[in-house]
């Protein structure tokens, strides 16, 4: 990371305001205060029904979530990881097949491919967005190494859609099954106004996670798959229930991936608030941008990268929902220790690229194979980001970063 010495500006605090005692990476208690009564009503309704697995609550969530994403069908399941496995398996991905994905993502993006019986292969990321680089995907597809490649699994990382215009064209040209990993991107969109589409409606299927830290979250593990193919949806409903279309009849080997009614009821309540929560995240991100610029700390990737903090590119065609607010930071690990001493929580998503994970040594990749993913793993830092984050908390985060560098 190329950094030039520069003078830092001042991040002004509001008059009379003291620095907050701590700044959490995420504080779900603040969200809970907003939805508490509705959530408790929903939980009471489920308890009164005594129907805890699948059933009417799950079916209701499937209907509204499919409509929200612009998909014909949605299939609730036990986690985002299960959602990826269901989507790939129902797309007929299996032993002997290869699936191309990004090396810079959460482990489940690649482990679900293995769980489906296939082999993950990787292409490097676009350093400006951290998402799968279509140019590198195309280079792989035009090589001699793609004869077993069946599917393409782009990840909408940190809440910004991958370049689905380019990736869909490549999938069509090479007859690949396109499955979206939208676990971090509920409510994100891609495209120009006349042809804009939501995450979850741009491939054969899409996997979402409702893990508690997500923009739309359950109070435990939960996930869902969207698709426009009714036969694929029916197949996933069998797969999530031990391969069973009916009680004690098993047509294939599936899994126990059923969604709890209580989690479905909670997510259904919170879905009503998602648009305003995502809008608040976008405002929080814009405020960070402003604070960093005012402090003289930042540079854009496309400007050559001379500041100690680099802001990734938000692509014009992408409606970014900022699941995380992630920057590249010079002396990242030292900065993180400094912030922790001031009780400012941060996280690194993700410190080890997938191709260098010990369990994937059999794939034959080595350090240096995907330099942009490897560089990102050494530089990325997630700062506090959630809708209820306060202005003074963000000011304290950025002023503390300025203190570290200046």
What's the confidence (pLDDT) of residue 91? 96
What's the confidence (pLDDT) of residue 193? 76
For residues 328 and 272, give the distance between their C-alpha atoms in angstroms, rounded to a whole number: 33
Q: Among the three residues 208, 242, 271, which one is the final residue of a domain in this structure?
A: 271
Q: Domain check: are 215 and 315 in the same one?
A: no
Give the tokens for residue 283: 């405002």
Q: Domain check: are 396 and 251 in the same one?
A: no
Q: Domain check: are 233 and 88 in the same one?
A: yes
Q: Domain check: are 123 and 51 in the same one?
A: yes
Residue 78 lies in a domain: yes
Provide the CATH number for the domain around residue 369: 3.90.1150.10
Q: Domain check: are 118 and 212 in the same one?
A: yes
Residue 15 lies in a domain: no
Interval 185-239: pLDDT, tens: 999 999 987 788 999 999 999 999 999 999 999 999 999 999 999 999 999 999 9
DSSP string, 152-189: EE-B-GGG----HHHHHHHHHHTTPEEEEE-TT-TT-E
Residue 130 lies in a domain: yes
* DSSP annotation of 347: B
For residues 357 and 258, give the distance between their C-alpha atoms in angstroms, rounded to a whole number: 29
How much is the pTM?
0.92
**Beta bridge mates, 226:** 74, 206
Q: Domain limits at 291? A: 274-405
Give the tokens for residue 251: 């047509």
Residue 26 lies in a domain: no
CB 86 within 8 A of CB 236: yes
What's the confidence (pLDDT) of residue 284? 98
What's the confidence (pLDDT) of residue 5? 46
Q: Domain check: are 144 and 80 in the same one?
A: yes
Q: Among the three residues 271, 303, 326, which one is the final residue of a domain in this structure?
A: 271
Provide the CATH number for the domain around residue 60: 3.40.640.10
CB 199 within 8 A of CB 223: no
CA angle 56, 62, 66 (to 5 degrees): 155
Residue 12 lies in a domain: no
* DSSP annotation of 246: B
Q: Among the three residues 222, 246, 271, which one is the final residue of a domain in this structure?
A: 271
Q: For each successive 10 residues of the chain (406 residues), what is the average pLDDT?
A: 56 60 95 96 95 94 96 97 97 96 98 97 97 96 85 98 96 96 97 88 97 97 97 95 87 91 97 97 97 85 69 93 97 97 97 97 97 98 98 96 92
What's the confidence (pLDDT) of residue 406? 86
Residue 5 lies in a domain: no
Q: Domain check: are 111 and 260 in the same one?
A: yes
Residue with tokens 């405002």: 283
What's the confidence (pLDDT) of residue 10? 54
Annotate 253-269 with b (16+ C-beta within 10 A) or e (fewer).
Answer: ebbebbbbbbbbbbbbb
Interval 89-107: pLDDT, tens: 999 999 999 999 999 999 9
| Side-chain-side CA neighbours of residue 223 (13 Å) | 27
For residues 261 and 55, give the distance between their C-alpha atoms in angstroms, rounded to a whole number: 7
For residues 102 and 136, give the distance between their C-alpha atoms in angstroms, rounded to a whole number: 10
What's the confidence (pLDDT) of residue 9? 60
Q: Domain check: are 152 and 46 in the same one?
A: yes
**Beta bridge mates, 300:** 311
Residue 22 lies in a domain: no
For residues 154 and 134, give the distance between their C-alpha atoms in angstroms, rounded to a whole number: 10
Indicate the SS3 state at residue 97: coil
Q: Domain check: are 334 and 368 in the same one?
A: yes
**Beta bridge mates, 225:** 75, 207
Q: Domain check: are 348 and 202 in the same one?
A: no
Q: Domain check: are 298 and 162 in the same one?
A: no
Asked if the peptide bond before residue 350 counts as cis, ω within 30 degrees of 0, the response is yes
DSSP string, 116-141: TT-EEEE-PBPTTTSSB-HHHHHHHH
Domains in the chain, number: 2
Sheet of 73-77: strands edge to edge?
73-77, 223-227, 205-209, 177-181, 149-153, 98-101, 119-122
Residue 14 lies in a domain: no
Q: Domain check: are 337 and 215 in the same one?
A: no
**For the chain, what is the radius of gyration of the CA atoms?**
22
């Amino acid at each position: 990371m190329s950094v030039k010495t520069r003078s830092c500006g001042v991040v002004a605090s509001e008059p009379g305001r003291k620095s907050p005692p701590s700044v959490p990476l995420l504080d779900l208690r603040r969200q809970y205060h907003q939805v508490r009564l509705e959530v408790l009503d929903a939980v009471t309704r489920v308890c009164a029904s005594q129907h805890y697995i699948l059933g009417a609550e799950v079916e209701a969530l499937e209907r509204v979530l499919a409509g929200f994403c612009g998909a014909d069908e949605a299939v609730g399941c036990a986690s985002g990881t299960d959602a990826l496995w269901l989507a790939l398996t129902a797309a007929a991905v299996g032993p002997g097949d290869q699936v191309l994905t990004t090396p810079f993502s959460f482990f489940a993006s690649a482990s679900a491919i293995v769980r489906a019986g296939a082999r993950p292969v990787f292409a490097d990321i676009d350093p400006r967005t951290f998402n799968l680089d279509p140019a590198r995907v195309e280079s792989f597809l035009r090589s001699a190494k793609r004869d077993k490649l069946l599917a393409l699994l782009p990840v909408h990382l940190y809440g910004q859609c991958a370049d689905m215009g380019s990736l869909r064209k490549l999938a069509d040209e090479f007859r690949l099954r396109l499955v979206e990993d939208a676990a971090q991107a509920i409510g994100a969109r891609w495209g120009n106004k006349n042809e804009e589409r939501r995450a979850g409606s741009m491939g054969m299927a899409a996997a979402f996670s409702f893990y508690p830290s997500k923009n739309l979250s359950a109070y435990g593990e939960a996930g869902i798959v969207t698709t426009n193919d009714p036969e694929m949806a029916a197949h996933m409903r069998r797969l999530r229930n031990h391969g069973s279309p009916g009680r004690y009849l098993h047509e294939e080997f599936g899994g126990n991936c059923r969604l709890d009614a209580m989690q479905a009821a909670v997510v259904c309540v919170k879905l009503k608030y998602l648009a305003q929560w995502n809008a608040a995240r976008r405002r929080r991100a814009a405020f960070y941008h402003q604070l960093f610029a005012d402090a003289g700390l930042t540079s854009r990737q496309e400007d050559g990268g001379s500041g100690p903090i680099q802001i990734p590119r938000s692509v014009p065609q992408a409606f970014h929902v900022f699941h995380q607010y992630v920057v590249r930071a010079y002396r990242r690990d030292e900065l993180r220790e400094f912030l922790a001493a001031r009780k400012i929580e941060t996280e690194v998503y993700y410190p080890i690229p997938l191709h260098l994970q010990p369990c994937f040594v059999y794939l034959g990749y080595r350090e240096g194979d995907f330099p942009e993913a490897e560089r990102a793993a050494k530089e990325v830092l997630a700062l506090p980001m959630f809708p209820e984050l306060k202005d003074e908390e963000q000011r304290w985060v950025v002023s503390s970063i300025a203190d570290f560098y200046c």
